């Protein structure tokens, strides 16, 4: 086995000890005589895994008792529908748009109910003074980190309506004061676990407002009432997330992840900014993502060679999203400082060879 440095945007790098443990107990989980994949979601063993995962999440983020922690299927795209169905009943969903993912959420909200775009920025997150909510606003929705565009909010918006955030790509990468939010959600496949699992953390008093015609599985109250087990949850994904939470706690939690994220992203941004224009990134500096560093080569003809030589050096999946092109290095929690250093070194050497 030769493991390489994986900068994929999601599904993305996972901690090696998590994968090794999953492999070692794949045919027999803790001596029960069968796999976690073959275990009833209502067994005491699985319920233990499930509840410990919730508890570890509560510990990692300091989630107050007034908040539900729920596991949902359907990815961010289903959240884009569930949020207006549950929170915009009789009101207007307000959206701050600064990239692909907040744009998608706004479009879906318009499809389903009434929605307004309160800000629309490019190459930066909106400033607080640009976030004036509309009359009848039900909530303000924003995406704390735009995975495709490489943009992050450097601050938490303050508004007098519930604040809703898509934290898919910066989940568990920094401390978050959950008490300031109405709801946050995150697709697992960046910092938490396998694709097919979405974590939702929501203030309990905001739930239960969906119309009676709302599909049962699109009503957050269903998840709150049944510990996310109204139907069979994605058990293997939850099991892996359980291992990831353990790893996170052992590594020092979200404060330590934030320290590493700053360090890792700084290495790549330095390689860009010190390249005399060989590489460039046009994002406003304070809005630069720590999770997804996007950059371009001035000479686009070198793109393919840059990707190929990187792979030869064990640096995989650095091609940018098809919508924006160029390169993207995703630096999620499981991507080591060593990996970021190796990429930065490669960038410098490549620039020297081709300048």
Give how far Cα 204 sits from Cα of 1, 68, 78, Å. Answer: 46, 6, 20
The three-point CA angle 329-147-103 to 5° equals 155
Cα distance between residue 355 and residue 350, in whole Å: 8
Residue 166 annotated to the active site: yes
Question: Which residue reads 């744009």 in tokens?
Answer: 103
Query: Which range in 76-84, 119-127, 295-303, 336-344 contacts a copy of itself by CB under 8 A?
Result: 76-84
Residue 101 annotated to the active site: yes
CB 61 within 8 A of CB 254: yes
154 is in an annotated binding site: no
CB 15 within 8 A of CB 7: no
Q: Confirm or reject binding of residue 37 to a copy of itself (CB under 8 A).
A: yes
Q: Which of 167, 197, 268, 297 binds a copy of itself (CB under 8 A)?
A: 197
Which CB sits closer to a copy of itself, 266 or 303?
303
Give how far Cα 262 sits from Cα of 101, 177, 212, 265, Å. Answer: 23, 19, 45, 5
Query: Which range in 71-79, 247-255, 257-265, 279-287 contacts a copy of itself by CB under 8 A?
Result: 71-79
Centre a 10 Å sphere on the Cβ of residue 129 and count the other Cβ atoms it contains.
7
End-to-end Cα, the chain, rounded Å = 36
Q: Confirm or reject binding of residue 159 to a copy of itself (CB under 8 A).
A: no
274 is in an annotated binding site: no
Give how far Cα 172 sits from Cα of 1, 17, 248, 249, 346, Å. Answer: 29, 18, 9, 11, 28
Query: Which range in 54-62, 152-160, 207-215, 288-296 contacts a copy of itself by CB under 8 A?
Result: 207-215
203 is in an annotated binding site: no
Question: Which residue reads 């990692």 in tokens?
Answer: 60
101 is in an annotated binding site: yes
Dihedral over Cα of 130, 131, 132, 134: its sign: positive
Q: Confirm or reject binding of residue 34 to a copy of itself (CB under 8 A).
A: yes
Cα distance between residue 293 and residue 279, in whole Å: 12
Helix (H) or strand (E) holding 82: helix 75-87
Q: Which of 147, 289, 296, 317 binds a copy of itself (CB under 8 A)?
A: 317
Q: Confirm or reject binding of residue 23 to a copy of itself (CB under 8 A).
A: yes
Q: Confirm or reject binding of residue 4 to a copy of itself (CB under 8 A).
A: yes
Question: How many positions of this chain bind a copy of itself (CB under 8 A)?
Answer: 68
Which CB sits closer to a copy of itself, 11 or 175?
11
Q: Confirm or reject binding of residue 20 to a copy of itself (CB under 8 A).
A: yes
* Selected catalytic residue, list 170, 190, 219, 264: 190
Of 178, 217, 168, which is closest to residue 67 (Cα–Cα)? 178
Q: What is the largest CA-CA distance in the chain?
A: 64
Q: Confirm or reject binding of residue 316 to a copy of itself (CB under 8 A).
A: yes
Q: Which of 159, 218, 307, 324 binds a copy of itself (CB under 8 A)?
A: 218
Helix (H) or strand (E) holding 264: helix 253-273
Q: Which of 14, 133, 161, 347 binds a copy of itself (CB under 8 A)?
A: 14
Q: Confirm or reject binding of residue 304 to a copy of itself (CB under 8 A).
A: no
Question: Which residue reads 């107050």 in tokens?
Answer: 64
Q: Confirm or reject binding of residue 111 to a copy of itself (CB under 8 A).
A: yes
Q: Confirm or reject binding of residue 19 to a copy of itself (CB under 8 A).
A: yes
189 is in an annotated binding site: yes
Q: List, as residue ranges, the binding site for L-glutamate.
A: 42
Residues that bind a copy of itself (CB under 8 A): 1-4, 6, 8-14, 16, 19-20, 22-24, 26-28, 31-35, 37-41, 43, 73-78, 80-81, 85, 108, 111-112, 187, 189, 194-197, 212-213, 215-218, 230-237, 240, 314, 316-317
């Amino acid at each position: 086995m030769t493991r390489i440095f994986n900068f994929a945007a999601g599904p993305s790098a996972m901690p090696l000890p998590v994968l090794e443990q999953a492999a070692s107990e794949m045919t027999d989980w803790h001596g029960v005589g069968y796999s976690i994949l073959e275990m009833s979601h209502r067994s005491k063993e699985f319920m233990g895994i499930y509840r410990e995962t919730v508890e570890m999440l509560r510990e990692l983020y300091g989630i107050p008792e007034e908040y539900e922690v729920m596991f949902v299927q359907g990815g961010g795209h289903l959240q884009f529908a569930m949020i207006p169905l549950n929170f915009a009943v009789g009101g207007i969903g307000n959206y701050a748009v600064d990239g692909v993912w907040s744009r998608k959420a706004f479009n879906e909200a318009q499809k389903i109910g009434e929605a307004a775009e309160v800000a629309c920025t490019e190459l930066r997150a909106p400033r607080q003074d640009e976030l004036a909510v509309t009359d009848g606003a039900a909530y303000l929705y924003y995406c704390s980190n735009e995975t495709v565009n490489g943009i992050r909010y450097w601050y938490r918006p303050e508004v007098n309506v519930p604040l809703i955030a898509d934290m898919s790509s910066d989940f568990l990468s920094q401390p978050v004061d959950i008490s300031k939010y109405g709801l946050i959600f995150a697709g697992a496949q960046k910092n938490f676990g396998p694709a097919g699992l979405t974590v939702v953390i929501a203030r309990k008093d905001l739930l239960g407002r969906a119309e009676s015609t709302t599909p049962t599985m699109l009503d957050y109250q269903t998840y709150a009432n049944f510990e996310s087990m109204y139907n069979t949850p994605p058990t293997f994904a939850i099991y892996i997330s359980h291992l990831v939470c353990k790893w996170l706690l052992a590594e020092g939690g979200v404060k330590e992840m934030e320290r590493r994220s700053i360090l890792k992203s700084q290495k790549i941004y330095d390689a860009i900014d010190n390249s005399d224009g060989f590489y460039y990134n046009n994002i406003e500096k304070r809005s630069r993502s720590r999770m997804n560093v996007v950059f371009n080569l001035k000479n686009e003809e070198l793109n393919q060679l840059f990707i190929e030589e990187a792979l030869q050096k064990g640096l995989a999946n650095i091609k940018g999203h098809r919508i924006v092109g160029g390169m993207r290095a995703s630096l999620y929690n499981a991507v080591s400082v060593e990996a970021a250093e190796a990429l930065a070194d490669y960038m410098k050497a490549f620039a020297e060879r081709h300048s």
